[in-house]
Chain A
Amino acid sequence: MTDALAILLCTGVAVLAVGAALAARRPALAPALAAQAAGLLLVGIAGGISLLDGLSAGSGFTSDLQPAVGVDPLSGFFLLMIGVVGVPAAVYATGYLGATSHPRALAVLTGCFPLALVGVVTARDATLFLASWELMTLIPAAAILISHGGGAARRAVFEYLAITHLGGVGVWVAVLMLAERGALGDPAGLAAAGTGVQTLVAVAGLIGFGTKAGLVPLHSWLPRVHPLAPSNISAVMSGVMVKVAIYGIVRLLFEWVGGPALWVGLVVLGLGALSALAGILYALFQRDLKRLLAFSTIENVGIATLALGAAAVFTARGEESWAALALAAALLHCLGHAAAKALLFLAAGSIERGAGGLDLDRMGGLLRRMPRTGAGLVVGALAIAGVPVLSGFASEWTALQSLLGLGRQDAIAPALAGGLGAAILATTVGLGAICFVKVIGLALLGAPRVPAAAGAVEVPRAMWAPVAALGAACAALGLVPGLLVPSLAALAPGGADLAPGAGIAAPGTSLPTLGIALALAAGTAALLVARGRRAAAPAPVWACGQAIEPPLAWTSAAFTKPVRLTLWELLRAESDVRAVTQDGVLREVRHRGGVPHLFDTMLYAPVLRAALAGAAGARRLQSGSLRLYVGYLVGLVVLLLLLARVGALG
């Protein structure tokens, strides 16, 4: 069975690589992308088998610096995720890339990107891991530079590479220290190395993986870059790439460090809570659909990290079955979000094609014009908003249960963390509902707001079918999460004996998702019959007797105004009203408003200014004068001699 798994996985990777290579050599893209999709399908199936049957294959982790690959159930779960997102994204690319400026180059990158992701999750030694990690960072940058030539895109890519590489140093430090101490293959991890080294590796790893996961305050690159990439690459970036960083955090916390300390768990929980809340708050006020989705990715990674933090705290307290439930919640949320967010990015790409833009205030009524893409978008948005009984509800329910379990611990720090975490998660879900109701309402419902939206046309089948497939995945994950949850819980060191079934059965309570769905469907059908055939007379919408014209249409800013007013002080929202009078007669009233991204203006801008000022100061040392350089050398020699004299050089 193990051999079969290895063969399946290797075949998948080989087919994927052939697909990527074919795209470079052949003018017709469809066969190459089809090969990529087939390869990813095999990879996903191999991952699913590994996860569900608990199978491992290939090498285990090794601290040697020779390349080694292998797969275990945790890697299998992430391979499954790569398959779930990668196959629809590759199929979507067959319809999408043709209209871009460099279809062949982008098709090659479409294949290489999942290859790098597979490399990260199957690498079993430090060198291959770090090499795949860097490739995974560089490929989207290349895709953006190829598809957008402008200065703004170059600047965004520069910021992306700068932030992820500065933060990514943490990954190098953590992984190389682990390899140096021989802790990569050791089941006890770093336990023998002492708390000092454990702390250093944990902090370095959290900074490194957290930057890539987009955890606040290291998230600044994410909303700049995700909207720029071609939609099929954005879907994989937002759906899988940030989750691969979660994979790193799981390995780090539960295997490599050798049992997380309580404070590490609390820090992770706090980072997750901050990311969830900040991510959704800023997502709420975006008008650009893809930028909104990018902020929402920060939110969802935050929710998964929140549950991971709870799992770490439970592990530190020795509550193994609760830790397993919290870990299962985190991973289930990762998978559910991967499917829903990939769907939303693909649908956003279709809407950009169909309606000619991504500005939410310039859409409207697209459910009629693009019914298939629109229906998919409704499912994805409701799933990500945590509405029963789609994928988001199942995973957020499980995460909330584990946080409430943490709140019932008999020590003050975990109990308070659990209580606050649960309250923040509930707030996040509430804000998420507003955010995605806004997306559905502005984009799909009501009347078209601009002529371009009125003339939108449905995209070809290669572009709506992947959206529909991902919608089905969201629904399936919401209806029968219980098929997956026991396998996910078994990934925790303690493992949990959760009974497999359709719904989720947590200690002391249960979520019968299928029962809820059937009851809701039956209730809706009964009411439909009771309501009978309704003959409705049409009448204009009530607006105090006026006709609803485009200037009266409700906008993104109007719908989010109650939240903006409630949190005015916290958000430092801006508002500027100017009355234009002419000859004493009021001609017009102009209003400008917005919600600035405070992390950029208050955190990154001062750091950037300080760095630039430091560079300007350092430049003065480099005057170009030969005499000055000779002076530096003489000064250095004198200093060294003095130090040698007092014995400071040993």
Chain B
Amino acid sequence: MSSRDAIALGIQVSGVALAPLLVGGVQSVKARLQGRRGSGPLQPYRELRRLWRRSAVDPLGAGPVYRAAPLLVGAALALCLLVVPVAAYGTDLPAGHDILVVAGLLALARVAMALSAWDTGGAFGLMGASRDLTFAVLGEALLVMVALVAALPADTTDLQAMWSASAGGAIWTEPAHWCGALAMGLVVLLETGRQPIDNPDTHLELTMIHEGPLLEYAGRDLAILQWAAAARHWVVLVLAAGLFLPHPHSFAPAIAALALGVAALVIALGVVETWQAKMRLLRVPPILLAGTAVALLGLVSWVAGGGL
């Protein structure tokens, strides 16, 4: 393993610790834009520490599925961190680097949460879970179309090769890449559960989507689930910055470009969240469908233009 691969792997693994920083970053950008001082980007770490010290409360009648779900969600997201590479470097970990594996692991986490909601039988958890799964129907189609558009220059769905193929400036002359970037923006909003699609800071049970199934959890279980939500930010932001933000071929500048790209996306999320109100539930699927159509348009333009 070369030193570059070691550094890339180190960054990948440090995602476990750095992921909550992204959530804290979005929150503090939002606070600044709203004219508040905010609690700073480190606040998620304080919350995780507080939750980790607390004991759990189990809803009456919940069974093994409810107790296993946080573990499975945490493991799936941790594995996601290892599947999404940093630049085109890092070793071949046992799970490979395929973008469709990321989609599968995110689906696994979603299914585990929905099953935990069924195990409690609570209406709010099931309301949130059913909405989350409904959005995911078109969200998965969108993610697959983004994967297809991003895979066009590389001719593979291996993320390291896709990263290499989208490096440099030539790719930006392709309309397909712009279409893919637009669709990826929707994927970021959906998977991070941010406004205008979902509101992670909501305390009103009736409007919850991602937060609904978390309602019953407490203590370390809740800490794991909150960390998993932060890890989901890391996964989609690194994917978006790596595939659809400009980055050079060589190693050190590529890492710098990635860091800048993720920071820019964090700020962008904060801005969008301040500027956009949460949209009505039934307006989300048409927008996701429109994103899929944009990606399909990108595919057509690529084939019609004969590729790079």
Bound together: yes
When the two chains form their complex, are residues B303 and A411 in contact, meaning their CB atoms are under 8 A apart? yes
**A419 in contact with B126 (CB, 8 Å):** no
When chains A and B are docked, how far (Å) is the Cα of A445 from the Cα of B59? 13
From residue 348 to 388 of chain A, which have CB atoms closer than 8 A to chain B?
A: 367-368, 382, 385-388
Is the beta-carbon distance between A410 and B306 smaller than 8 angstroms?
yes
Known A-B contacts A423-B144, A531-B221, A554-B123; A524 and B72 likewise in contact (beta carbons under 8 Å): yes
Contact A515 B121 (CB under 8 A): no
CB distance from B212 to the nearest CB of A (A): 11
Smallest CB separation, B300 vs chain A (Å): 7
A422 to B142: give the CA distance in the assembly, Å: 10
Q: How many residues of B contact A (CB 8 A)?
A: 86
Question: Which residue from chain A places its CB closest to the CB of B215 in the assembled complex?
Answer: A542
Given A404-B151, A542-B122, A554-B126 in contact, is the A433-B94 Cβ separation under 8 Å? no
The CA of A158 and the CA of B224, in the complex, are separated in Å by 56
Flag if B118 contacts A408 (CB, 8 Å). Answer: no
Contact check, B115 vs A510: say whether CB atoms are below 8 A apart: no
Count A-B pairs with CB separation below 8 Å: 263
Asked if A543 is at the interface (CB within 8 A of a chain B CB), the reply is yes
Verify B151–A561 contact, CB threshold 8 A.
Answer: no
Partner of A445, one of B96, B110, B115, B215: B115
Q: Of the 9-residue stretches B6-14, B32-40, B127-135, which lies at the interface with chain A?
A: B127-135
Residues of A within 8 A of B56 (CB): 534-537
Interface centre among B60, B95, B119, B224 (most CB of A within 10 A): B95
Asked if A508 and B161 make an inter-chain contact with CB atoms under 8 angstroms apart, the answer reads yes
How many angstroms from the CA of A430 to the CA of B300 in the assembled complex?
A: 25
Establish whether residues A429 and B130, one from each chain, have CB atoms under 8 Å apart when the complex forms: no
- Chain B neighbourhood of A431, CB < 8 A: 137
Complexed CA–CA distance, A526 and B224 (Å)? 12
Q: Is residue A540 contacting chain B, with contact meaning CB distance below 8 A? A: yes
Residues of B within 8 A of A544 (CB): 205
Contact with B along A381-416 (1 / 0, CB 8 A): 010011110000100010011001001111110011
Distance between Cα atoms of A255 and B292 in the complex (Å): 37
A166 contacts B by Cβ under 8 Å:
no
A427 to B76, CA, bound (A): 21
Instruction: Select from chain A the residue with minimum beta-carbon distance to B152.
Output: A408
The reply on B124 being an interface residue by CB < 8 A is yes
Asked if A455 lies at the interface with its beta carbon under 8 angstroms from chain B, I say no
| Cα A76 to Cα B296 with chains together (Å) | 40
Which residues of chain A have C-beta atoms less than 8 A from B139's C-beta? 430
Taking the complex as formed, is A518 at the interface, i.e. its CB lies under 8 A from any CB of chain B?
yes
Contact with B along A599-629 (1 / 0, CB 8 A): 0000000000000000000000000000000
B68: A residues at CB distance < 8 A: 524
| Listed stretches B100-108, B194-202, B259-267; interface member | B100-108
- Interface flags for B49-63 (1: CB within 8 Å of A; 0: not) read 000000111111111
A404:B157 contact, CB within 8 angstroms: yes
For B148, list chain A residues within 8 Å (CB). 404, 407-408, 418-419, 422
A552 nearest in chain B by CB position:
B123
Task: Known A423-B292, A527-B75; judge A437-B96 contact (CB<8 A).
Answer: no
B interface majority secondary structure? helix
Check B111 against A433 for contact (C-beta < 8 Å): yes
| Complex contacts, B300 vs chain A, CB 8 Å | 412, 415-416
Which residues on A sit within 8 Å (CB–CB) of B124? Answer: 542-543
Instruction: List the A side residues contacting B114 at CB < 8 Å.
Output: 437, 441
Q: Which residues of B contact A418 (CB under 8 A)?
A: 148
- B270 CB to nearest chain A CB (Å): 28
Q: Judge if A539 is at the interface, Cβ distance under 8 Å.
A: yes
Residue of A at shortest CB range from B79? A519
- With A509-B98, A527-B224 already in contact, the answer to whether A536 and B58 are too (CB < 8 A) is yes
> In residues 541-569 of chain A, which contact B (Cβ within 8 Å)?
541-544, 548, 552-554, 558-563, 565-566
In the complex, A388→B306 CA distance in Å?
36
Question: Is the CB–CB distance between B110 and A512 below 8 Å?
Answer: no
Task: With CB as the reference atom, state the residue of chain A lying closest to B58.
Answer: A536
What residues of A have a CB within 8 angstroms of the CB of B304 in the complex? Answer: 412
Q: Which residue from chain B places its CB closest to the CB of A561 in the assembled complex?
A: B130
With A382-B111, A408-B152, A416-B299 already in contact, the answer to whether A401 and B100 are too (CB < 8 A) is: yes
User: Could you say which residues of chain B place their CB within 8 Å of the CB of A510?
Assistant: 96, 98, 158
Does A426 count as interface, using CB distance less than 8 angstroms? yes
Does the CB pair B224–A430 fall under 8 Å? no
User: In this assembly, does A511 line the interface, its C-beta being within 8 Å of a C-beta of chain B?
Assistant: yes
Contact check: which of A503, A511, A535, A562 meets B134 at CB < 8 Å? A562
Complex interface: chain A residues within 8 A of B100 (CB): 397, 400-401, 511
Q: Is the CB of A515 within 8 A of B58?
A: no
Inter-chain CA distance A401–B99, complex, in Å, is: 11
- Contact residues of B between 253 and 294, Cβ < 8 Å to A: 281-282, 285, 292
Closest to A436 in B: B111
Chain B nearest CB, measured from A363 CB (Å): 12
Interface contact A519-B94, CB-CB below 8 Å: yes
Q: Does B216 contact A (CB under 8 A)?
A: yes
Knowing A431-B137, A433-B110 are in contact, say whether A422-B144 is a contact too (CB < 8 A). yes
A554 to chain B, nearest CB (A): 4
- Whether the pair B58, A538 counts as a contact (CB closer than 8 A) is yes
Does A138 lie at the interface of the complex (its beta carbon under 8 Å from any beta carbon of B)? no
How many Å lie between the Cα of A431 and that of B138 in the bound state?
A: 9
Shortest CB-to-CB span from B14 to chain A, Å, is: 17
Check B76–A520 contact: CB distance below 8 A.
yes
B63 touches A540 (CB 8 A): no
Q: Is A446 an interface residue when CB atoms closer than 8 A count as contact?
A: yes
Nearest CB of B to A586, in Å:
22
Complex partner residue of B157 from A423, A509, A566, CB under 8 angstroms: A509
Q: Is the CB of A446 within 8 A of B121?
A: yes
Bitwise interface map of A from 429 to 466 toward B, beta carbon under 8 Å scored 1, else 0: 11101100100111001110000000000000000000
A532 at the interface (CB under 8 A from B): yes
Could you tell me the distance between the alpha carbons of A385 and B72 in the complex, rounded to whole angstroms? 17
Residue A1 interfacial (CB < 8 Å): no
Q: How distant is the Cα of A434 from the Cα of B136 in the complex, in angstroms?
A: 9
Cross-chain contact A434 with B58 (CB below 8 angstroms): no
Closest 8 CB pairs of A and B: A441-B118, A515-B94, A523-B75, A508-B156, A430-B137, A446-B121, A562-B134, A536-B58
Listed A/B pairs (14) with beta-carbon separation below 8 Å:
A415-B303, A418-B148, A424-B141, A430-B133, A434-B133, A510-B98, A511-B100, A514-B94, A520-B79, A531-B70, A538-B58, A539-B59, A539-B60, A540-B59
> With A388-B104, A566-B285 given, can you name 6 additional A-B contacts, CB distance below 8 Å?
A404-B157, A415-B299, A434-B133, A437-B133, A537-B55, A548-B123
